[in-house]
Chain A
């Protein structure tokens, strides 16, 4: 009898099982499975997002690094160019300055030479004049002493005339 009752579902248990199982099913569906499954889904989504973001960040980082490298290279090139230009300018300036200085120097020198020459000429002229005056003075004195008499004057004039002739020929 007991063995037969094993395969004979009892009404009471079917009743309670149906009632309580369905009630629990609905309660669990609403208050347990929904938040759990949503939570799992959200977490999985957030993990996937995080992984994606990490990959994106890595890619961005790599791009940034490449860009940085590029910028650095450009900056270096620019610096090279600038340096070269600066060097050129300096060289040009120096060369210009040198040329100017040389020209100025030359001009100064030339002026100096001119002045020297002028001074020399003036000095020579003056010297000539003084020599001439002196000579005149000397000559006057001599003349005064030597040509105090008419004979002496006559002798001299003769002599000068002869000499002058000689010199002229």
Chain B
């Protein structure tokens, strides 16, 4: 337990601990790359379903237990009992699943180290209450209510309780929560802004170098990005799209560098890295959606003809083929979304799982923890190396497949 306290204080953060009562085992990951995406997806869907079922009966008794404990603790109102409460709440046991999910998920406020958290703006729009903007520090790591809102399992819910009420005493106002739209600058949004700022800074700077030193050999940062730009242009856009590639270069380049940069930032364990942005389904959803929109808008007659009525296919087969083709239209970007999300998230989960082994073993015996740490460290280093490779490969795969889909949409019919 001592190791735990020193090395990973956020474990005691309540936001990680609430809900772990439901006692899900940490996800077991199969190592082979092909399986891991599938297992994660299926696994999460199963957990999700199981969780939804649990919520119905599980929550009420749980709240009762917690509330009674909290009532006792709040009366004492010191730090020590609070720690004791947290100890009691998670039974003094290390939960790898909670740790991992905390790291790959999103949060309001950016946990930097120890008890230091960078407060981030909370922006909430409620159809009845209007817009509220305040610092995430008012939530006190999810312990307190503020402005009629509080954190519940990582997301913002509406409550009628007064400001500063302990969340355990506040009740969720369901109808108001339904009318609440959370557009807070969360850790992932902040990371998104940081990465976009880096992209703007780097590439506008590089662009200046191109105009200033027109026609001359590249220098400095140009040398770093030029081979990648040429790679995207020649090996991705030109080879997959063909003669019309120039129109799509801005999107492909932006997508490539955005994914690549964020994959790399996700590997950096501390600020401003550490957010699992490209492993977040909302981000990959937007990227895939842009690809889908480009393909759909730019698709030519030839493309639609192939989807709606594949030439050279007998009429009755079209009854099967056309629905399949239409499904494929949506499936392609969907797969883009899942692939990037699953690969990056799975990589993080595996690396963190190896890391968690130290504490799982350390809990039974400090010596075992130290012993396992050597092996865990080796595996984590190995995984990180692998993730460096994956960071590039996934950026490439996303860009290349996007280019392929665009290429199929703008391809001119072959003259036989």
Residues of A within 8 A of B (CB): 1-18, 20-22, 24-25, 27-29, 31-40, 42-43, 46
Contact = CB atoms under 8 A, between A and B. Distances in A.
A1 to B, nearest CB: 5
B259 to A, nearest CB: 11
Which of B22, B196, B199 has the most A CB atoms < 10 Å from its CB?
B196
B350 to A, nearest CB: 15
B197 to A, nearest CB: 9
B210 A35 contact: yes
A29 B249 CA distance: 9
B285 interface: yes
A42 B211 CA distance: 10
A85 B200 CA distance: 83
Contacts of B289: 18
B153 interface: yes
Contacts of B302: none
B323 to A, nearest CB: 26
25 contacts: A2-B101, A2-B153, A4-B52, A7-B281, A9-B282, A10-B106, A10-B186, A12-B181, A13-B188, A13-B280, A16-B183, A18-B286, A21-B254, A24-B196, A28-B254, A29-B254, A32-B203, A35-B208, A36-B203, A36-B207, A36-B229, A39-B207, A40-B210, A43-B215, A43-B216
Contacts of A6: 44, 101, 104-105, 281, 345
Nearest to B186: A12
Contact of A46 (B98, B204, B215): B215
Contacts of A42: 214-215
B330 interface: no
A11 B196 contact: no
Contact of A13 (B123, B283, B287): B283
Contact of B19 (A1, A17, A25, A38): A1
A33 B281 contact: no
Interface of A is mostly: helix
A4 B44 contact: yes
Contact of B181 (A2, A11, A17, A40): A11
Contacts of A20: 192-193, 196
B254 A33 contact: yes
B286 A17 contact: yes
Interface string B275-306: 00000111101110110000000000000000
B182 A12 contact: yes
A31 B207 contact: yes
Given A4-B52, A12-B189, A39 B283 contact: no
Contacts, number: 163
B246 A17 contact: no
Interface in B217-270: 226, 229-230, 233, 246, 249-251, 253-254, 258
A21 B289 CA distance: 12
B171 interface: no
Contacts of A25: 250-251, 254
Given A7-B341, A35-B207, A37-B229, 13 more contacts: A1-B22, A2-B19, A4-B44, A7-B281, A9-B282, A9-B285, A15-B183, A27-B200, A28-B203, A28-B254, A33-B203, A36-B207, A37-B246
Given A2-B154, A6-B44, A14 B199 contact: no
Nearest to B104: A6
Contact of A16 (B27, B189, B226): B189
A17 B341 CA distance: 15
B352 interface: no
Contacts of B399: none
A24 B341 CA distance: 21
Contact of B200 (A14, A18, A24, A40): A24
A14 B101 contact: no
Contacts of A13: 106, 186, 188-189, 192, 280, 282-283
A33 to B, nearest CB: 5
Nearest to B24: A3
B47 interface: yes
Contacts of A15: 183
B41 interface: yes
B257 to A, nearest CB: 9
Nearest to B184: A12
A5 B52 CA distance: 11
A10 B203 contact: no
B155 interface: yes
B69 interface: no
A8 B153 CA distance: 14
Contacts of A24: 196, 199-200, 254, 258
A166 to B, nearest CB: 137
Nearest to A32: B203
A21 B251 CA distance: 10
Contacts of B154: 2, 5
Which of B44, B200, B207 has the most A CB atoms < 10 Å from its CB?
B207
